[in-house]
Amino acid sequence: MELLTKTLFLCLALALTNGAPAHHDAAVDDASLPDRCDGIGFDAITPDEKGTTFFFRGSHLWEGFHGPAQLSNESFQQLDDIHNIGHVDAAFRMHNIEQLDHHDHIYFFLDDKVFSYHDQALEEGYPKEIQQDFPGVPSHLDAAVECPKGECMTDSTLFFKGQVVHVYDIATKTVKTKTWSHLPVCTSALRWLEHYYCFHGNNFTKFHPVSGEVSGVYPKDARSYFMKCPNYGHGGDYKVLKCSDVKIDAITTDDAGKSYFFAGPIYMRLDTWRDGLHAFPITKSWKEVTNGVDAVFSYADKMYLIKDDQVYIYKAAAHYTLIEGYPRTLKEELGIEGHVDAAFVCPEDHTVHIIVGRTIRAIDLSATPRAVTQERPLPFSDIDAALCSAEGINVFKGATYYNYESPMTLAMSRIAPEPLNVTRAMMGCEE
């Protein structure tokens, strides 16, 4: 498949390091508005339920990783003089799937008060004393950040005051305190794509949410990663595509439920919509794959990336690691030859279905050696990608896709069904 740089979906620089986003900010035209590039930093940072990240300073905010400042009460109407809020001390998005009436709500903290918002509207009964909602959490906070179970021991919130961290257990409403004297005093904090960042002035430091450990060279300048500023940053500007212009090279979901699509030199995690959808260079996670992919599939905690006649197999862990002895040829690994257009494995299945031209081939991945067990014609060609899930099989061709109930219905079909259009919910494109 042709490597089209126009398939870059987001305004994101490709040269990213250590998992931090390199988004871009337009120059501020109105001199009366605060400039996020001035190095002062932020009072609070939080995403909302839609994955949009808000950066707060004084009475203003920035919506997303690019764009000019605006008054906070233009997005959160009750952040105004009626409630005597000129700024916020800290903010976070609640992660509490056990209580959906609180899940994804945004909490703002000011002095000894807490304000709860949902869909940018202040909830009835707020503001409250912090102790009413978060017993044991001090007033006059510096920062706060959500920490879901699996990243912390339980669904928790980290509250920062000086170098003391108050770890609040959402379910039990209990607090444990830790002192992280090795961290700077965080003026705001952000969880982004399962990584945690302490912001201090114009810098940030990435830390582990349980131990507070800092790995790598920090601090880094936020102006090179979380915004576009003159003389800062790295990479290029990429525009969000219209859904009618979408063309992907591969798509897959791994055993951990992480979904990826690949297009040209980039990939995007599709399951991270709560943090916003963001593109990265393929070489960031699969450094040996330097020229895009033709097809990708996941099986048995491994990810198979196919390019030309080569198969790269990576162990899926915290970081993808190429298995020793790879890449190998398609013939050696799967017993086939030719240009692969798409590949997919259905959940709990041991068969990979490979689309080559107008044919679909089934290969038993549990067999040794691997060989084609079935081959059938297809009613179309020039397929870009395919994905199997509990909702069936989606076969992508440009900005459209075909949906099939199962591999059998796909293999037995003789007439292509009505094509469906790729949507924003699927790919993060503009409709």
Quick one: pLDDT at residue 29?
Answer: 46
Q: Residue 1: which pLDDT band, with cuts at 50, 70 and 90?
A: very low
* Lowest pLDDT segment from 122-136, 202-216, 271-285, 368-382: 271-285
Q: What does the mean pLDDT of the chain come to?
A: 86
Task: Identify the band that residue 210 occupies on the pLDDT scale cut at 50, 70 and 90.
Answer: very high
pLDDT of residue 307: 97
Note the pLDDT of residue 284. 87
State the Cα–Cα distance between residues 188 and 125, nearest whole angstrom: 26
State yes or no: 95 annotated in a binding site.
no
- Please indicate if the annotation marks 118 as binding a ligand: no
Q: Is the pLDDT at 314 greater than 50, yes or no? A: yes
Residue 256 scores a pLDDT above 90: no
Residue 4, pLDDT above cutoff 60 = no
Question: β-strands 321-322, 121-122: how paired?
Answer: unpaired
φ and ψ at residue 243, rounded to 5 degrees: -60, -30
pLDDT at 21 over 60: no
pLDDT over 90 at 316, yes or no: no
Extents of the domains making up the chain: 44-224, 243-426
Q: What pLDDT score was predicted for residue 66?
A: 76
Sign, CA torsion 298/328/284/144 = positive
> Do the Cβ atoms of 361 and 354 come closer than 8 Å?
yes
User: Is the pLDDT at 204 greater than 90, yes or no?
Assistant: yes
Of 400, 315, 394, 316, give the one whose Cα is nearest residue 355. Answer: 394
pLDDT at 233: 64
Q: What is the largest CA-CA distance in the chain?
A: 73
Per residue in 39-63, pLDDT (tens digit) is: 888 999 999 888 889 999 998 999 8
pLDDT given for residue 338 in this prediction: 93
Q: Is the pLDDT of residue 322 over 70?
A: yes
Q: pLDDT digit string (tens) for 59-107?
A: 899 988 777 898 888 888 766 654 555 689 999 999 877 777 788 899 9
What number is the average pLDDT over the span 330-337?
Answer: 96
pLDDT at position 30 is 59
Cα first-last separation, the chain: 24
Q: What is the mean pLDDT of residues 331-355?
A: 95
One-letter amino acid at 2 equals E
61-96: burial string, b at 16+ Cβ within 10 Å, e else: bbbbbbbbbeebbeebebbeeeeebeebbbbbbbbb
Q: Is 118 exposed, middle or buried (0-12, 13-18, 19+ CB in 10 A)?
A: middle
Overall average pLDDT of the 347-359 stretch: 95
Q: CATH topology of 44-224 equal to that of 243-426? A: yes
Query: What homologous superfamily is domain 44-224 in, according to CATH?
Result: Hemopexin-like domain (2.110.10.10)
Strands 359-364 and 220-221: unpaired
The confidence score (pLDDT) of residue 318 equals 66
Q: Is the pLDDT of residue 411 over 60?
A: yes
* CATH class for the domain made up of 243-426: mainly beta
pLDDT in tens, 119-170: 888 899 999 999 999 999 999 999 999 999 989 999 999 999 999 999 999 9
Q: Positive or negative, the Cα torsion across 156, 316, 235, 52?
A: negative
Residue 232's pLDDT is 72
The answer for residues whose C-beta is within 8 angstroms of residue 350's C-beta and 6 or more apart is 299, 364, 365, 366
